[in-house]
Structure 1
Amino acid sequence: MSVFPRWRSIRTLVRTTLRYKLLLLVLFPTLLAMPATLGLTIYWFNSFTRDNLFLKVKSDLAVTRHAFGQMQQDHATALQRLTDSYSFRLLLTNGDARGLQNELKSLIDEEGFTFVHLTDELGNWLYEESLGSRGSSKPSPLTNRAMRGRPSAALEVFTPDDLQREDPALIERMRVPLADEPERAYEDRTMVMRAVYPIRDFGGQILALLDGGIALNRNNTIIEELRDRVYGPATLPSGGVGAIALLLDNVRIGTNLTIGQQDTALGTYVSTEIRDKVLGEGSTWVARDLVGQQWYISAYQPVFDADGQGIGMLQSSILEAPFRNAHYRAAALLLLIFIGVIALATWVVLRGARSIFKPIEQMANLVRATQAGVDRRMGKIDSQDEIGELAVQFDSMLDLLQRRNHEISRAAEQLEAKVEDRTRELEQKNTDLERTVSLLRETRQQLVMAEKLASLGQMAAGIAHEINNPTAVIIGNLDLLVAELGDAANSVHGEVDMIIQQVDRIRYIVDGLLQFARPSSPSDNTDIENVNINRTVKDTLVLVRHAVEKGETTVHVQLDATRTVRIRRYELQEVLINLLLNAARAVSAGGVIEVITADWEQQGVVISVKDNGVGIAPEKLGRVFDPFYTTDTRHGTGLGLSVSYGLIRRYGGEITVESELHRGSVFQVWLLEEPVLADQRVGAEDFGENYTDRRRNHERDYI
């Protein structure tokens, strides 16, 4: 009967006193959760430590594999250095067998090779007859690759017969005694790190092969070097042991693993599970591994021969005991810290709990709910002190904050709409500005060209007038001189013809200058006719046939134009002759020139002259239409393209050029079906901009 009154008394205290409420709320979960939390923490710590050990040994295996591959590459590089050395080349050229063998012996001593031979493509040893040694190397895919010019390095398995080829003493040296194997006492196969490097003459032909190999059975030097690279200073805890093993099939043929105080694990086997997982499936195996009487954390990975066949494994291991001891010490320390922290936290919570705990917790929950977007308030609380007043003010603040958020949202929506409008306006203005800048740039280029043509035209007229009179006098007096000399002029007939040819050349240049200086009036439409573009192209090809055939050039013609254009036929023919002659001079023997005509949308016709010649450098491309500028100083005067450009522009057309150095050039003549003569042209706003855009769009489609 005394139990129930006591229970009722405790219950009353808990319901009426905040101190006991907090005591129950804090101590009960703490006492209940502490064992579970401690157990989970220890379990997590054990798993974390184990996973870290597995991750470390797996990482160590990757480093081991990289170091092992680097060693293979280093030995292949050693062969390359020897073949590239001047002394070796000189000995090989002179056929000095003794000197070559000395070089090979030095390489064996310095790099640790088990054997190095000079062989032919069949593997027969070269330059060893004088030493009383004749033989051949083991056939290998590495030899075949080297004969195709590919230096190769890989692992191979040598049988006792293969070792007999090299040195009978190797058979005994490479034997590995097997542990716990009643049916077989020794592993007499040998894993060899082999490299074959081709030796070329100065013409690139393969003279011989340099074949070298390192036997890995019982090769402590290789194992120790790998161990030092992987498990250097400060990589293991105090007392930690890192070990490397190389396995042939499932037998350790080289290792620093120990199974006792002094005995190594050489000749021991790995389990069938490991062998099937690593060699059977080609996977990496990481787990605890019992070697002798000691547990290791080991990782195994397959190694392959030159044909990609798994022949063994590479093992990286760390002794488990030092890590396990360190783990136990850390776990004990963690347990003590955990108990101390729990005790301290319980004391602090009990000492710091007051009547404000619950309202503050409610406020914290309210803050989190508000952050999550939930509209909630503190409401009325059973407290008349500062906490109660704070709760009321807190609700007021949330109401104000909600109103401000609504206002900010409306303002943000309005601002976003304004930004979108401004962005669209700016994009439109940028587009208009880019179009205007492009038009101004093209107009400026045309004005500069027109100014050049005008200035040079005036100068050309004066030069042509001054040159014509002396040339006429020269021809007249030369004819008179020949007539006066009669038969006596036969002895200088060649010189007279040369003078006439040079005077004709002067006249040709002068005629070009005059034509450049006095083009026909832009408004004069005399002789303008409807010209069949395809027929004009055919007639022009007949005129330049001699120049084209002289260079053994092939001309491909594709005449797809169906429209006629109004133009002076002889002027268009002059433009085509200039373009075809330039193309014929640009191509080498056997080159190709393509002439293509096509309709230019609803505007007119485009004529393309394309060659696969030397092309024009980018820095020279902008000057090809300048008067007197030429890239062919042997034949050109520099007037052909400038005159052609002026003729086409006179009819409102355009000549464009694209060129790539050493790939060829393409000139395109754009002709309007109905010409727009100089005094009939409209402004850039009405014609130039639309004309340029249409021509560029068609040019992209055409190309």
Structure 2
Amino acid sequence: MGRLTPRGPAGPVRRLAAAYAGSVRLRLLALVLAPLLVGAPVLLLIVWSWGTEGYDQLLVNKVSSDLGTARQYFERVQGSLRTGLEGIASSHRLAVTLEGGTGGALRRLLDEAAEDQGLDYLLLLDGRGMVRAGGTFPQPSDRSGWAVVREAMQGYPQHGLEVFPPEELEALDPALRRTARIPLVPTRNARDDRRSVEERGLVIQIAIPIPGAGGRVSGVLEGGVLLNGNQGIVDRLNSIVYQEASLPMGSQGTATLFLDDVRIATNVRLFEGQRALGTRASKSVADKVLDRGAPWLGSAFVVDDTYVSGYQPLTDTAGRRVGMLYVGFLESPLRDTLYRALAGLCLLFLLVSGLGTLVGLHGARAIFRPLERMAGVIARIEAGEESARVGPTASRDELGRLARAFDHLLDSIAARRWELQRSAAELDRKVALRTAALEEANATLRRAQQQLVMNEKLTAIGELTAGVAHEINNPVAVIQGNLDLMREVLGGDIEPVRDEFRLIDEQTRRIHAIVTRLLQFARPGDFAGYAEPTDVNAVLSDCLVLTRHNLTRARIKVELQAKAAGTVEMNRGELQQVLINLIVNAMQAMPDGGTLTLDSRDISAGGNGPEADGTGEDGLGDRLPGSEPFDGVLVGVADTGHGIAAGDLDRIFDPFFTTKKQTGTGLGLSISYAIVQRYGGRIVVDSSPGSGTRFTLWLRRQASYSDQPTAPFFEAQRIGTGD
């Protein structure tokens, strides 16, 4: 095809611009190569920038989460020490020793208690805060100057962090002063400090009041744990925060406790096998965390390498910043891996760009030929050759089809119009079919989302149950221990209240069983209850015995209609737990009294019996909607209370949903549902505001085990509600 030739003198740039303007070939080449030669480098720069920025933010988020976990564990350690000391303060042994024991007996008791609780010292103070036993004080010493002791003298258990001077540590135990003494190691980038040794001690201090006659405080137990050199706490903290395989690519997690900016307990290594005790935090970290009280999140130089670090200030009981809590992990292995990945990505981009350029040039050459032939035809027609045509072409792409259809343009337009009309009708039909398919897919998605929400709640419960079990089992152990002691003290005089003691024993065991069921609800596969043939009527009778005092006090009339003759395969204790939970819920729904109806009846898979046609007392018959015929026992718990609001009915089995905001946890019905469904049964509810509520348990004669719910909770709830 022809090219425009610039007139007059022209430089290389002008000639290139004129050639570009007059040549489709050059413009096509520019369009093909521009994305590869210009877009690829720009895209690489964007990917590199976003990748490094996003990775840095990911590391900061990771260390922030780790720091929160470390803080929770450190607070849990302090709470555990306080709980243990409270148990000693309220123990019978301490009370007996205080009444008739000698100074030696008191000292032995304190030493044994300190060893059992992992305390570095334990003092017995009188009501005025004076040391009565413990320590190595040369003369009577007044401890009322410490904040936690003053709180305990007022009757309030208290704990917190305190910095003990070396003289105080010497008076408590000379060994504590020696343990607290840490030589300072010169550290690069640290603040100026003329000291050569740290002799103060960072102590978890606990003070618990000892109850006396008339509700007054007769004394105080003061104990503490020295954190200087306490590697057990930081090692345990590090193992919790950085569990195995939580840091990929060879990184290493560390944890440290600081007194001011000095490492007093750490698993950071200074040399092989030697911890970096006595080294100090960098000045920039100390200024931000200790002086301004703000957490540090990001890269920081730690001893001899760069770590992704999280620092948080530690305060004493007066709110003064006295130290820092640190967690972090090596940055270099993760950073090296990121750079290797980005470099590999750049090389891959360059390789793809080179191959794309070659392919583009080859493809452009095939395009030029039909274009040049079409341009020649246009020139011939302009010259007056009316019969000029493109003629046959070997090209099978869009340009080839355009050349072949050049002589039949009008017919093609008509054919295209008819084809568009037919396509529009076909499109309407496909849209209708697709709309129906999308509606069905949306319904499936909603069910999947509801199952996902339930699984997420179960996961949250699994993380929570370990702490709940620890916090509940401690007071239960204290109750059980004191109960055994009362039996031993009362001896034969226990006969008038032996049944009450037995019931207390049973209920403490039941508390332990409930904690276990909470774990069982969160991880049902790890807890398989022992199933046995269970008489439902006998369990109903036992439940009424356990709850008769509360029902009588609440002025609730009980109607028992136990018609079931067969047994169900289920753990008896779990069935009792479910029924007591439903009875207690019914009682709470009738604050002004009412009628509680408990009933049971047999149902048969074969359809034999008066209720086989679906006309049973509960209106449900012998078949769950959407399920196979059911063989087992139906148990009903009905009340005449205020009923359940329509907006709450679909959520009552959800974990943590409760309408009793001050007293309820929202786990009772969820656990009950999980227990029954594990054995292949179901729980359904029928309720409306003002008309009372009825829960019906479908219990199988032969259990069909399930570790996870097979349908969202609300599907079972709507059975019998008319929804």
- Shorter-chain TM-score bucket reads 0.3 to 0.5
> What TM-score does the superposition give when structure 1 sets the normalisation length?
0.48
> What TM-score does the superposition give when structure 2 sets the normalisation length?
0.46
Structure exhibiting the larger radius of gyration computed from Cα positions: 1
